[in-house]
Amino acid sequence: MSELRFDGRVALVTGAGGGLGREHALLLASRGAAVVVNDLGSLTMGGQDHDPSPAEAVVEEILKSGGSAVSNSDSVGTRDGGEAIVNAALSSFGRLDIVVNNAGIIRNRTFLNIGEDELEPILDVHVKGCFFVTRPAYEHMKKNGYGRIVNTSSGSGLFGAFGQSAYAAAKAAIYGFTRTLAIEGARYGIHVNAIAPAALTRMTPDALGEDSFVAKTIGLSGSDLEAVLGPHQVAPAVAYLAHESCHLNGETLSVGGGRVARTFMSVTRGIHESELSAEKVSDRIEEIFDDAKCLSPANVDEEIILLKNFLSGTND
C-alpha cells in the first residue's frame, strides 16, 4: 500500500506539547500536514499551570525536520480558547481538515472525595473542550464538505476504573459525542472517530510504568519499555483515522503497544414479556445476559427497531 500522506492538509492537535498529542503532531507533520500544535502547557497532570514552551518545542522539532507548524497555548476548556485555537489554523494556513481532540487532565479520587472544584475542570477540558474546539472547526469543515475528527476516549470511561469516576464519566461522554457527531457529520463529508489509547506517558506511570504489572510481566524497563509502549505505538492509528481514505465513521479504536482493536457498544438479544414484572426480570436474568447473539446498532433508531421486532413478533 502507498504511504498515507497529508500533503495540502491542515491538522490541529490539542494537548500536543507532550505525550500522545506530540506524537500525533509529529507523525502528521512528517507525512506532509501543516500542524497547529496546541498545548496549554500544563506542568502537572491536573492541568493547573500554563506554559507555552512545550508546544513551541514541538513546533521547533517539526520545523527542523522540514515540516510546517505553528504553536498555540490557548485552553480547550473555554469557548474563546476553542475559537482561538481554530483561528490559529485558519489564519496561519487558511483551512482546517483534521482535528485531533487529545488534550486531557486527570485527578484520581474515589467518588466521595471528588469535590466540585475537581469535577468541573475535568468536564471542562475533556467534554466541553471537545465541543469548544470542534464547533468552530466543524463549521469550517461543513463549508468545505470535508473533515476528519479524532477524539480521545479511554478504557477507563468505556470499561470503568477504580478512583476515576469523574475522568471516566468525561471519557464516556466523548464516546457518545463521537457516535452522534459521526451521524450528523456524515452528510457533510465529516468523519468522526475516536481512540481509547494506552501509552506510557506521565499520565500512566502506575498502569504502564516500570513498577506496573504490565512492565513486570513482560520484563522490560527504561527505553525498552518505552519502545514497546510509547505514544509512537498509538499515533499511527490516529493518522489512519485522520486520512481521507479512511471510511470509518463513529468508531472507537482501542490502541496501545502496537495492538489495535475495535471497541463498540452492543446489546444482547434480551427477552420480551407483554407484562413485565420485577420477578420476570429476576427469573430470566440469565437469558437477558446471554450474549451469544449480541447486536451492535448503528444508532438509537436501530435499537428501537429491536423493540419493534419483539412487539410485532418478527424477532427471530
Closest CA to 106 of 166, 173, 51, 17: 166
Q: Per CB under 6 A, which region of 88-96, 137-145, 197-205, 220-228 contacts ligand NAD?
A: 197-205
22: its cell numbers: 506530540
193 near ligand NAD, rule: CB under 6 A: no
Alpha carbon distance 35, 246 (integer Å): 19
Question: Applying CB under 6 A, which of residues 154, 164, 193, 254 lies at the interface with ligand NAD?
Answer: 154
Alpha carbon distance 61, 38 (integer Å): 14
Closest CA to 36 of 64, 65, 3, 73: 73
**Enclosing H/E stretch for 72:** strand 68-72
Alpha carbon distance 169, 295 (integer Å): 24
- As beta bridge partners, residue 253 has 195, 262
Question: Applying CB under 6 A, which of residues 21, 82, 136, 147 lies at the interface with ligand NAD?
Answer: 21
Burial class (CB in 10 A: 0-12, 13-18, 19+), 232: middle
134 near ligand NAD, rule: CB under 6 A: no
Q: Which is nearer to ligand NAD, 20 or 190 (CB)?
A: 20
Give, as ranges, the residues between 222 and 261 that touch ligand NAD (CB under 6 A).
none
Total residues at the site for ligand NAD (CB under 6 A)? 31
Residue 240: active-site member: no
Question: Applying CB under 6 A, which of residues 201, 233, 252, 254 lies at the interface with ligand NAD?
Answer: 201
72 near ligand NAD, rule: CB under 6 A: no
Q: Which is nearer to ligand NAD, 34 or 203 (CB)?
A: 203
Give, as ranges, the residues between 110 and 129 that touch ligand NAD (CB under 6 A).
125
166 near ligand NAD, rule: CB under 6 A: no
Give, as ranges, the residues between 40 and 59 that touch ligand NAD (CB under 6 A).
40-42, 45, 47
Q: Which is nearer to ligand NAD, 104 or 147 (CB)?
A: 104
280 near ligand NAD, rule: CB under 6 A: no
CA dihedral of 230, 236, 241, 246, whole degrees rounded to 10: -160
Catalytic: which of 138, 146, 167, 240? 167
Alpha carbon distance 82, 264 (integer Å): 29
70 near ligand NAD, rule: CB under 6 A: no
Catalogue the active-site residues: 167
